[in-house]
Amino acid sequence: MEWTQALWLSAIQGLTEFLPISSSGHLALAPALFNWPDQGLAFDVAVHVGTLIAVLIYFHKDIGLIIGDWIGSLTGGPVTIYSKLAWSIAFATVLVGIAGILLEHIVSTVLRNPLSIAGATIAFGIILGLTDKFGAKQRRIESISWKDVLVIGGAQVLALIPGTSRSGITISAGLMMGLTREAAARFSFLMAIPVITLAGIWLGKGLVAQVQPVQWSILVFATAVSAIVAILCIHYFLRYLQRFSLLPFMIYRLILGVILLVVFL
């Protein structure tokens, strides 16, 4: 892999992991446009580690409170918003984990093609725009209930479909349940921690059996780039959501979906 390819792909992963614009759509389009070879499994693991590092760094205070209050709730302590978030994230992770195991073959074969990705990019982009326009956008993250967890966690399962965007569909579900844009995004990003971890482990399982030589300098570089880009993305996206709507992201997804159809048809 060339350094230029590593730079672009790791930056794309860091940016699109948390923006509601479909990382799989961009990662399918970039090699086709630039005639790049497949980046390989090791690279995928590296950029996933980068985005995991980013979310752990950015939300380290919240994560500490979540873990501490969760442990406290196990030992008879009071129920707090953070212990509630811990159980909510765990439940949502179990849902997507079970679905991932059951649907692995379909997702990795039938749905992993450019036209399916294009269709999902367009369809779930429209859903993002509709929920942003018609959602109440009044409730903060402290008000999350088990009903919200069931809906948002269930929506996260749909992110197994390439082109959906994990952040996009979970933010859409949060908006549908009346959360503010920022609350929906924050809960989505916290839910991403175990999901990205599981995805990295799953990819790493295949990497163990791989006999191809590893370009360690490229992988370290890609991890660092994806982490830096992802931290900046999380920070400025949360600030953006305090003032503006998600309409530009819906429009962008529609344009991306059309481009994918034109390129791959």
Q: What is the pLDDT of residue 2?
A: 86
Three-class secondary structure of residue 70 per DSSP = helix
Q: What is the pLDDT of residue 181?
A: 97
- Residue 211 is predicted with a pLDDT of 62
- Tell me how far CA of residue 201 lies from CA of 48, 224, 261, in angstroms: 10, 19, 32
Q: Which residues of the chain have pLDDT under 70?
A: 108, 206-212
Check residue 155 and give its pLDDT: 92
Q: What are the two backbone dihedrals, phi and then psi, of residue 97, each rounded to the nearest 5 degrees?
A: -65, -45
By residue count, the chain amounts to 265
CA 165, CA 228: separation in Å to the nearest integer?
20
pLDDT at residue number 106: 82
Residue 179's DSSP bridge partners are 139
User: Is the pTM value of this prediction over 0.95?
Assistant: no
Instruction: For the beta carbon of residue 114, count every other beta carbon within 10 angstroms.
Output: 19
Residues 73 and 158: their CA atoms lie apart, in Å, by 30
Closest by CA position to 185, among listed 77, 87, 76, 55: 55
Long-range contacts of 7-10 (CB under 8 A, 24+ apart): 7/221, 7/225, 8/34, 9/36, 9/39, 9/43, 9/47, 9/222, 10/46, 10/47, 10/50, 10/221, 10/222, 10/223, 10/225, 10/226, 10/229
